[in-house]
Structure 1
Amino acid sequence: MMNNWWSGSTDQLAVCSRSALVELAAVLPATGRFVVARLDGTRMRDTDDALYEFSDALLFPGYFGWNWDALSDCLRDLNWLPADGYLVVVENAPQLLSSSAEDQHTLFRILYQAVRHWGNPLGQPDGKGSPFKVLLLCDRDEEAALLRQEIAYAVRQSRS
Protein backbone atom coordinates (compact mmCIF):
# COMPACT_ATOMS: atom_id res chain seq x y z
CA MET A 1 0.00 0.00 0.00
CA MET A 2 2.70 2.52 0.90
CA ASN A 3 5.05 2.12 -2.08
CA ASN A 4 3.30 4.53 -4.43
CA TRP A 5 0.71 5.83 -1.98
CA TRP A 6 1.65 9.49 -2.29
CA SER A 7 1.37 9.87 -6.02
CA GLY A 8 -0.88 7.07 -7.20
CA SER A 9 -3.19 6.09 -4.41
CA THR A 10 -6.89 6.77 -4.46
CA ASP A 11 -7.13 6.07 -0.72
CA GLN A 12 -9.03 8.90 0.88
CA LEU A 13 -7.95 8.09 4.39
CA ALA A 14 -5.35 5.36 4.74
CA VAL A 15 -5.40 3.08 7.77
CA CYS A 16 -2.29 1.12 8.59
CA SER A 17 -1.34 -1.22 11.41
CA ARG A 18 2.10 -0.58 12.86
CA SER A 19 3.27 -4.00 11.63
CA ALA A 20 2.88 -2.75 8.04
CA LEU A 21 4.38 0.68 8.61
CA VAL A 22 7.31 1.90 6.53
CA GLU A 23 9.71 4.80 6.98
CA LEU A 24 8.27 8.28 6.48
CA ALA A 25 10.93 8.93 3.82
CA ALA A 26 9.47 6.05 1.79
CA VAL A 27 6.00 7.62 1.89
CA LEU A 28 6.87 11.20 0.92
CA PRO A 29 8.10 12.21 -2.54
CA ALA A 30 11.83 12.79 -2.92
CA THR A 31 11.45 16.50 -3.73
CA GLY A 32 9.22 19.38 -2.74
CA ARG A 33 8.08 21.13 0.41
CA PHE A 34 5.79 18.99 2.51
CA VAL A 35 4.09 19.65 5.80
CA VAL A 36 3.90 16.60 8.07
CA ALA A 37 1.58 16.98 11.04
CA ARG A 38 1.82 14.25 13.68
CA LEU A 39 -1.06 13.85 16.08
CA ASP A 40 -1.84 11.30 18.78
CA GLY A 41 -5.33 9.82 19.11
CA THR A 42 -4.84 9.32 22.85
CA ARG A 43 -4.64 13.11 23.21
CA MET A 44 -7.86 13.64 21.22
CA ARG A 45 -10.54 11.82 23.17
CA ASP A 46 -13.13 14.59 22.82
CA THR A 47 -13.95 17.39 20.39
CA ASP A 48 -12.14 20.15 22.27
CA ASP A 49 -8.94 18.10 22.49
CA ALA A 50 -9.14 17.15 18.79
CA LEU A 51 -9.64 20.75 17.70
CA TYR A 52 -6.72 21.86 19.89
CA GLU A 53 -4.38 19.17 18.54
CA PHE A 54 -5.20 19.96 14.89
CA SER A 55 -4.82 23.68 15.56
CA ASP A 56 -1.48 23.16 17.28
CA ALA A 57 -0.08 20.72 14.71
CA LEU A 58 -1.08 22.79 11.67
CA LEU A 59 -0.49 26.22 13.21
CA PHE A 60 -4.07 27.43 12.67
CA PRO A 61 -4.44 31.21 12.65
CA GLY A 62 -5.86 33.16 15.57
CA TYR A 63 -9.26 33.45 13.90
CA PHE A 64 -9.82 29.66 14.12
CA GLY A 65 -13.39 29.26 15.40
CA TRP A 66 -12.95 26.14 17.58
CA ASN A 67 -15.75 24.10 16.01
CA TRP A 68 -16.13 21.47 13.28
CA ASP A 69 -16.97 24.00 10.55
CA ALA A 70 -13.86 26.02 11.39
CA LEU A 71 -11.72 22.87 11.28
CA SER A 72 -13.14 22.03 7.87
CA ASP A 73 -12.49 25.55 6.60
CA CYS A 74 -8.90 25.61 7.88
CA LEU A 75 -8.04 22.16 6.50
CA ARG A 76 -9.25 23.29 3.07
CA ASP A 77 -7.32 26.57 3.20
CA LEU A 78 -3.84 26.29 4.82
CA ASN A 79 -2.64 29.46 3.03
CA TRP A 80 -0.56 30.30 6.14
CA LEU A 81 1.30 27.00 5.68
CA PRO A 82 2.22 26.84 1.97
CA ALA A 83 3.54 23.49 0.77
CA ASP A 84 3.59 21.13 -2.19
CA GLY A 85 1.64 18.61 -0.15
CA TYR A 86 0.37 17.78 3.31
CA LEU A 87 0.53 14.60 5.35
CA VAL A 88 -1.46 14.22 8.56
CA VAL A 89 -0.38 11.21 10.62
CA VAL A 90 -2.58 10.18 13.54
CA GLU A 91 -0.97 7.66 15.84
CA ASN A 92 -3.19 5.53 18.10
CA ALA A 93 -6.07 6.32 15.76
CA PRO A 94 -8.62 3.95 17.38
CA GLN A 95 -8.57 6.20 20.48
CA LEU A 96 -9.37 9.26 18.35
CA LEU A 97 -12.63 10.76 19.66
CA SER A 98 -13.40 7.50 21.44
CA SER A 99 -15.90 9.32 23.66
CA SER A 100 -18.29 9.93 20.75
CA ALA A 101 -18.85 7.87 17.60
CA GLU A 102 -20.79 10.80 16.12
CA ASP A 103 -17.84 13.19 16.59
CA GLN A 104 -15.46 10.57 15.19
CA HIS A 105 -17.62 10.23 12.07
CA THR A 106 -17.78 14.02 11.76
CA LEU A 107 -13.99 14.24 11.86
CA PHE A 108 -13.59 11.43 9.29
CA ARG A 109 -16.03 13.25 6.97
CA ILE A 110 -14.07 16.50 7.37
CA LEU A 111 -10.77 14.75 6.63
CA TYR A 112 -12.28 12.98 3.63
CA GLN A 113 -13.60 16.29 2.29
CA ALA A 114 -10.19 17.96 2.80
CA VAL A 115 -8.46 15.15 0.87
CA ARG A 116 -10.94 15.54 -1.99
CA HIS A 117 -10.69 19.34 -1.94
CA TRP A 118 -6.89 19.39 -2.22
CA GLY A 119 -6.90 16.73 -4.92
CA ASN A 120 -9.32 18.69 -7.11
CA PRO A 121 -7.51 21.03 -9.55
CA LEU A 122 -10.53 23.34 -9.86
CA GLY A 123 -10.20 26.32 -7.60
CA GLN A 124 -6.54 25.70 -6.81
CA PRO A 125 -4.26 28.70 -7.41
CA ASP A 126 -1.99 26.90 -9.88
CA GLY A 127 -4.77 24.94 -11.56
CA LYS A 128 -3.58 21.58 -10.29
CA GLY A 129 -4.43 19.53 -7.24
CA SER A 130 -2.12 19.18 -4.27
CA PRO A 131 -1.72 16.03 -2.24
CA PHE A 132 -3.36 16.05 1.17
CA LYS A 133 -3.06 12.63 2.74
CA VAL A 134 -4.21 11.27 6.08
CA LEU A 135 -2.57 8.19 7.59
CA LEU A 136 -4.29 6.63 10.61
CA LEU A 137 -2.04 4.26 12.56
CA CYS A 138 -3.28 1.35 14.67
CA ASP A 139 -1.49 -1.09 16.96
CA ARG A 140 -3.17 -4.23 15.59
CA ASP A 141 -4.63 -5.43 12.32
CA GLU A 142 -8.03 -5.92 13.99
CA GLU A 143 -8.10 -2.27 15.06
CA ALA A 144 -7.17 -1.23 11.52
CA ALA A 145 -10.02 -3.29 10.07
CA LEU A 146 -12.55 -1.78 12.50
CA LEU A 147 -11.32 1.73 11.81
CA ARG A 148 -11.63 1.17 8.04
CA GLN A 149 -15.28 0.18 8.60
CA GLU A 150 -15.90 3.35 10.63
CA ILE A 151 -14.33 5.51 7.93
CA ALA A 152 -16.32 3.79 5.19
CA TYR A 153 -19.51 4.49 7.15
CA ALA A 154 -18.58 8.17 7.64
CA VAL A 155 -17.71 8.58 3.96
CA ARG A 156 -20.99 6.99 2.87
CA GLN A 157 -22.85 9.40 5.17
CA SER A 158 -21.05 12.38 3.63
CA ARG A 159 -22.20 11.33 0.16
CA SER A 160 -25.87 11.02 1.08
Structure 2
Amino acid sequence: MTDDWWHRSADQLAVCSRSAVVELTAVLPATGRFVVVHLDATRMSDADHAFHEFSDALLFPSYFGWNWAALSECLRDLNWLPADGYLIVVDNAPRLLSDGARDRDTLFQILSQAVHYWASPLGRPNGNGVPFKVLLLCDLDEEAALLRQEIASAVHNLR
Protein backbone atom coordinates (compact mmCIF):
# COMPACT_ATOMS: atom_id res chain seq x y z
CA MET A 1 0.00 0.00 0.00
CA THR A 2 1.40 3.42 -0.93
CA ASP A 3 0.22 6.43 1.03
CA ASP A 4 -0.23 9.77 -0.72
CA TRP A 5 -0.08 12.01 2.35
CA TRP A 6 3.17 13.64 1.18
CA HIS A 7 1.21 15.44 -1.51
CA ARG A 8 -1.60 16.69 0.74
CA SER A 9 -1.92 20.11 2.34
CA ALA A 10 1.39 21.58 3.49
CA ASP A 11 0.12 22.18 7.02
CA GLN A 12 -0.55 18.52 7.81
CA LEU A 13 1.78 16.22 9.66
CA ALA A 14 2.17 12.78 8.14
CA VAL A 15 1.07 9.88 10.33
CA CYS A 16 1.34 6.28 9.26
CA SER A 17 1.65 2.80 10.59
CA ARG A 18 4.81 0.81 10.04
CA SER A 19 3.01 -1.22 7.38
CA ALA A 20 2.75 1.83 5.07
CA VAL A 21 5.13 2.19 2.16
CA VAL A 22 6.79 5.58 1.75
CA GLU A 23 8.14 6.41 -1.67
CA LEU A 24 11.23 8.48 -1.07
CA THR A 25 10.96 10.15 -4.46
CA ALA A 26 7.80 11.83 -3.16
CA VAL A 27 9.73 13.28 -0.21
CA LEU A 28 13.29 13.88 -1.29
CA PRO A 29 14.29 16.59 -3.72
CA ALA A 30 15.78 15.35 -6.98
CA THR A 31 19.15 16.86 -6.10
CA GLY A 32 20.79 18.57 -3.18
CA ARG A 33 21.21 17.99 0.54
CA PHE A 34 18.42 16.60 2.68
CA VAL A 35 18.65 16.46 6.47
CA VAL A 36 16.97 13.39 7.96
CA VAL A 37 16.46 13.24 11.71
CA HIS A 38 15.20 10.23 13.65
CA LEU A 39 13.61 10.79 17.05
CA ASP A 40 12.19 8.20 19.44
CA ALA A 41 9.03 9.37 21.22
CA THR A 42 9.70 7.00 24.10
CA ARG A 43 12.54 9.37 25.03
CA MET A 44 10.23 12.41 24.90
CA SER A 45 7.69 11.79 27.65
CA ASP A 46 7.70 15.44 28.77
CA ALA A 47 8.55 18.85 27.33
CA ASP A 48 12.09 19.02 28.73
CA HIS A 49 13.02 15.69 27.16
CA ALA A 50 11.43 16.75 23.87
CA PHE A 51 13.48 19.97 23.85
CA HIS A 52 16.66 17.96 24.44
CA GLU A 53 15.89 15.43 21.71
CA PHE A 54 15.07 18.09 19.09
CA SER A 55 18.08 20.17 20.14
CA ASP A 56 20.49 17.23 19.91
CA ALA A 57 19.11 15.90 16.64
CA LEU A 58 18.96 19.25 14.83
CA LEU A 59 22.11 20.70 16.40
CA PHE A 60 20.30 23.73 17.85
CA PRO A 61 22.61 26.65 18.62
CA SER A 62 23.67 27.50 22.17
CA TYR A 63 21.11 30.30 22.39
CA PHE A 64 18.21 27.79 22.22
CA GLY A 65 15.87 28.86 25.05
CA TRP A 66 14.54 25.43 26.14
CA ASN A 67 10.87 26.41 25.78
CA TRP A 68 8.10 26.09 23.19
CA ALA A 69 8.69 29.51 21.63
CA ALA A 70 12.39 28.75 21.18
CA LEU A 71 11.61 25.35 19.64
CA SER A 72 9.23 26.99 17.20
CA GLU A 73 11.79 29.65 16.29
CA CYS A 74 14.60 27.14 15.75
CA LEU A 75 12.44 24.82 13.62
CA ARG A 76 11.62 27.76 11.36
CA ASP A 77 15.22 28.95 11.11
CA LEU A 78 17.76 26.11 10.77
CA ASN A 79 20.31 28.44 9.11
CA TRP A 80 23.06 26.52 10.97
CA LEU A 81 21.90 23.35 9.20
CA PRO A 82 21.37 24.44 5.58
CA ALA A 83 19.70 21.91 3.34
CA ASP A 84 17.41 21.57 0.35
CA GLY A 85 14.87 19.78 2.54
CA TYR A 86 14.24 18.34 5.98
CA LEU A 87 12.63 15.13 7.19
CA ILE A 88 11.89 14.50 10.87
CA VAL A 89 10.86 10.93 11.64
CA VAL A 90 9.33 10.33 15.07
CA ASP A 91 9.20 6.66 15.97
CA ASN A 92 6.65 5.37 18.53
CA ALA A 93 4.63 8.55 17.99
CA PRO A 94 1.63 7.61 20.19
CA ARG A 95 3.99 7.78 23.20
CA LEU A 96 5.08 11.34 22.35
CA LEU A 97 4.69 13.67 25.36
CA SER A 98 2.60 11.06 27.15
CA ASP A 99 2.88 13.06 30.40
CA GLY A 100 0.87 16.01 29.10
CA ALA A 101 -1.87 16.36 26.48
CA ARG A 102 -1.51 20.15 26.42
CA ASP A 103 2.23 19.88 25.64
CA ARG A 104 1.46 17.35 22.94
CA ASP A 105 -1.04 19.72 21.31
CA THR A 106 1.52 22.51 21.51
CA LEU A 107 4.17 20.38 19.81
CA PHE A 108 1.76 19.35 17.04
CA GLN A 109 0.90 23.01 16.48
CA ILE A 110 4.59 24.00 16.35
CA LEU A 111 5.43 21.20 13.92
CA SER A 112 2.46 22.09 11.73
CA GLN A 113 3.52 25.74 11.69
CA ALA A 114 7.06 24.73 10.71
CA VAL A 115 5.79 22.54 7.85
CA HIS A 116 3.63 25.41 6.60
CA TYR A 117 6.43 27.97 7.02
CA TRP A 118 8.96 25.97 4.99
CA ALA A 119 6.40 25.17 2.28
CA SER A 120 5.80 28.87 1.61
CA PRO A 121 7.65 30.17 -1.46
CA LEU A 122 7.69 33.73 -0.10
CA GLY A 123 11.19 35.05 0.39
CA ARG A 124 12.79 31.85 -0.87
CA PRO A 125 15.36 31.63 -3.65
CA ASN A 126 13.69 30.81 -6.97
CA GLY A 127 10.28 31.29 -5.31
CA ASN A 128 10.12 27.63 -4.23
CA GLY A 129 9.21 26.28 -0.82
CA VAL A 130 11.58 23.98 1.01
CA PRO A 131 10.40 20.45 1.80
CA PHE A 132 10.03 20.11 5.57
CA LYS A 133 8.24 16.89 6.43
CA VAL A 134 7.34 15.32 9.75
CA LEU A 135 6.56 11.62 9.71
CA LEU A 136 4.97 10.19 12.86
CA LEU A 137 5.25 6.40 12.95
CA CYS A 138 2.77 4.17 14.79
CA ASP A 139 2.77 0.42 15.36
CA LEU A 140 -0.87 -0.07 14.37
CA ASP A 141 -3.30 1.45 11.88
CA GLU A 142 -5.66 2.19 14.77
CA GLU A 143 -2.97 4.18 16.58
CA ALA A 144 -2.28 6.14 13.40
CA ALA A 145 -5.97 6.99 13.00
CA LEU A 146 -6.24 8.22 16.60
CA LEU A 147 -3.08 10.29 16.27
CA ARG A 148 -4.38 11.90 13.06
CA GLN A 149 -7.53 12.92 14.99
CA GLU A 150 -5.42 14.41 17.79
CA ILE A 151 -3.31 16.38 15.33
CA ALA A 152 -6.37 17.65 13.47
CA SER A 153 -7.85 18.85 16.77
CA ALA A 154 -4.62 20.53 17.89
CA VAL A 155 -4.10 22.27 14.54
CA HIS A 156 -7.76 23.31 14.39
CA ASN A 157 -7.39 24.94 17.82
CA LEU A 158 -4.46 26.90 16.45
CA ARG A 159 -6.63 28.69 13.91
Same fold (TM over 0.5): yes
Separation in structure 1 between the aligned mates of residue 99 and residue 35 of structure 2, nearest angstrom: 29
Cα displacement (A) at 1:29: 3.5
Determine whether 1:103 maps to 2:103: yes
Normalised to the residue count of structure 2, the TM-score between the two structures is 0.91
Separation in structure 2 between the aligned mates of residue 115 and residue 127 of structure 1, nearest angstrom: 16
Give the unaligned 5+ runs of structure 1: none
Cα displacement (A) at 1:20: 1.0
Cα displacement (A) at 1:10: 2.2
AA matched with 2:15: V
Cα displacement (A) at 1:41: 0.5
Query: Which residue does the alignment assign to 1:116?
Result: 116
Cα displacement (A) at 1:32: 1.7
AA matched with 2:123: G
RMSD, aligned CA: 1.9
Give the unaligned 5+ runs of structure 2: none
AA matched with 2:62: G
CA contact (8 A) 2:5 2:14 kept: no
Query: Which residue does the alignment assign to 1:143?
Result: 143
CA contact (8 A) 1:4 1:27 kept: no
CA contact (8 A) 1:2 1:27 kept: no
Query: Which residue does the alignment assign to 1:51?
Result: 51
Separation in structure 2 between the aligned mates of residue 62 and residue 125 of structure 1, nearest angstrom: 27
Q: Evaluate the alpha carbon distance shift between residue 46 and residue 134 of structure 1 in structure 2; reply closer, same or farther with a 3 A threshold.
A: same
* 1:18-97 alignment runs, 5 A limit: 18-22=18-22, 27-97=27-97
Q: Evaluate the alpha carbon distance shift between residue 40 and residue 29 of structure 1 in structure 2; reply closer, same or farther with a 3 A threshold.
A: same
Cα displacement (A) at 1:2: 4.2
- Comparing 20-29 with 146-155, greater Cα deviation is found at 20-29
CA contact (8 A) 1:37 1:89 kept: yes
Q: Which runs of 4+ in 1 moved over 6 A?
A: none
Separation in structure 1 between the aligned mates of residue 59 and residue 121 of structure 2, nearest angstrom: 24
Cα displacement (A) at 1:115: 0.4
- Comparing 50-59 with 8-17, greater Cα deviation is found at 8-17
Query: Which residue does the alignment assign to 2:15?
Result: 15
Normalised to the residue count of structure 1, the TM-score between the two structures is 0.90
Cα displacement (A) at 1:124: 3.0
Q: Secondary structure at the match of 2:19?
A: helix
Residues 14-38 of structure 1: CA distance to partner in whole angstroms, max 9, x if unpaired?
A: 0000011447577423422100011
Q: Secondary structure at the match of 1:15?
A: strand
